[in-house]
């Protein structure tokens, strides 16, 4: 019934002006990005967007694991299957981040009984790639060096 009234006389023009004014005020004062920015500023949240490229999914998962606040690693089970070499790699990552130098690979690998040069090489390579990625991320975000 609203549109029936708008078709007679100046009511249609008045309704059009009212819609245009409402849309303009809504756009100028209450845009979604402005509301979100105000809310984030009020809550003290700041973000810096940047792009980073990893050599594979394992270093990316390792970087996420090290940069998050807890040490629970079950979140990556569907992406990277649990295995002895994954556990050795995660333990080396935790040790490597606590120390300034490379952790003792031989002691850790014998503890997890990694047999075969392929597993040992996988753990070493992914530790080095993850460590380099975390270091680059921390430098890029201004957190210093890893």
Question: Both 37 and 103 in a single domain?
Answer: no
Question: Both 62 and 116 in a single domain?
Answer: yes
Global pTM value: 0.62
Residue 15 lies in domain: 2-43
Do residues 126 and 57 make contact, with C-beta atoms less than 8 angstroms apart?
no
- In-domain check, residue 52: no
Q: How far apart are CA 14 and CA 16, in angstroms?
A: 5
Q: How far is CA 37 from CA 29, 87, 146, in A?
A: 13, 41, 31
Question: Both 36 and 61 in a single domain?
Answer: no
- In-domain check, residue 97: yes
Question: Both 35 and 102 in a single domain?
Answer: no
* Phi, then psi, of 9 in degrees rounded to 5: 75, -145
**pLDDT tens-place string over residues 38-93:** 888 999 988 777 788 999 999 999 999 998 888 899 999 999 999 888 998 898 88
Question: Both 61 and 24 in a single domain?
Answer: no
Question: Both 9 and 69 in a single domain?
Answer: no
pLDDT band at 14 (very low <50, low <70, confident <90, very high): confident
**pLDDT tens-place string over residues 71-83:** 899 999 999 999 8
From 118, 128, 134, select the one nearest 60 (Cα to Cα).
134
Q: Could you please report the per-residue DSSP string of 120-133?
A: HHHHHHHHHHHHHH
Q: Which residue has the tokens 């070499």?
A: 85
Do residues 106 and 100 make contact, with C-beta atoms less than 8 angstroms apart?
no
Q: What is the CA radius of gyration of the chain?
A: 28
């Amino acid at each position: 019934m609203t549109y029936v009234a708008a078709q007679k006389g100046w009511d249609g023009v008045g309704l059009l002006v009212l819609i245009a004014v409402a849309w303009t005020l809504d756009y100028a004062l209450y845009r979604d990005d402005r509301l979100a920015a105000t809310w984030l500023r009020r809550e003290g949240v700041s973000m810096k967007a940047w792009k980073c490229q990893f050599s594979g999914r394992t270093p990316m998962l390792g970087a996420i694991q090290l940069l998050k606040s807890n040490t629970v690693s079950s979140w990556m089970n569907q992406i990277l299957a649990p295995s002895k070499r994954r556990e050795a790699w995660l333990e080396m990552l935790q040790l490597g981040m606590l120390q300034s130098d490379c952790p003792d690979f031989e002691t850790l690998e014998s503890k997890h009984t990694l047999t075969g040069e392929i597993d040992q090489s996988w753990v070493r390579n992914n530790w080095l790639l993850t460590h380099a990625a975390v270091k680059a991320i921390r430098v890029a975000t201004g957190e210093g060096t890893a």
